[in-house]
Amino acid sequence: MPQIVNSRFVLAVRDLAISTRYYVDVLGFALDPIDAAGWSFLSRDGIRLMVGECPEEPAARELGDHSYFAYWNVEGVDALYREFAARGALLLSPPTDKPWGLREFGLTTPDGHRITCGEEIENA
């Protein structure tokens, strides 16, 4: 039976070098061994990204609510927050217990792509 085995988020960015450095140096992604002009292919754990340089397009921050692109289910949400904070991540909110049973924090990228990271609260 056919199956989808993985996926990649595809993100448009204004400056590929700045965005690639942010994902690698701040968020801990690795560059995948794929060579394509104008693109960076990145991965960390189960997340894969294709980041493409589009200098003439509106930055994600200009899209308001449409700049939100991902919810990452994580293990160790507080430790991940501390890791990102220590590396200078653009954090939007600290880890907070939510009424829907998740502990979450928010961050953004240099172009304004918003990400929420969350972990299920035990015994919620």
**What is the per-residue pLDDT for 32?**
96
Tokens of 67: 């700049």
- Which range (34-38, 46-50, 65-69) has the least confidence? 65-69
Instruction: Give tens-digit pLDDT for 61-75.
Output: 888 777 888 999 999
pTM exceeds cut of 0.85: yes
Secondary structure E strands in the chain? 9-13, 30-31, 39-44, 47-53, 68-73, 90-97, 102-108, 114-120
Average the pLDDT over 28-56 and give the result. 95
Q: Report the domain count for the chain.
A: 1
Question: Does 2 reside within a domain?
Answer: no
Question: Does 1 reside within a domain?
Answer: no
For residue 124, name the pLDDT band (cuts at 50, 70, 90): low
Question: Does 4 reside within a domain?
Answer: no
**What is the per-residue pLDDT for 20?**
97
Question: Does 25 reside within a domain?
Answer: yes
Question: Does 114 reside within a domain?
Answer: yes
**CATH number, domain containing residue 91:** 3.10.180.10
Question: Does 3 reside within a domain?
Answer: no
**In which domain, by residue range, is 65 found?**
9-120
What is the C-alpha to C-alpha distance for residues 52 and 5, in angstroms, rounded to an integer?
22
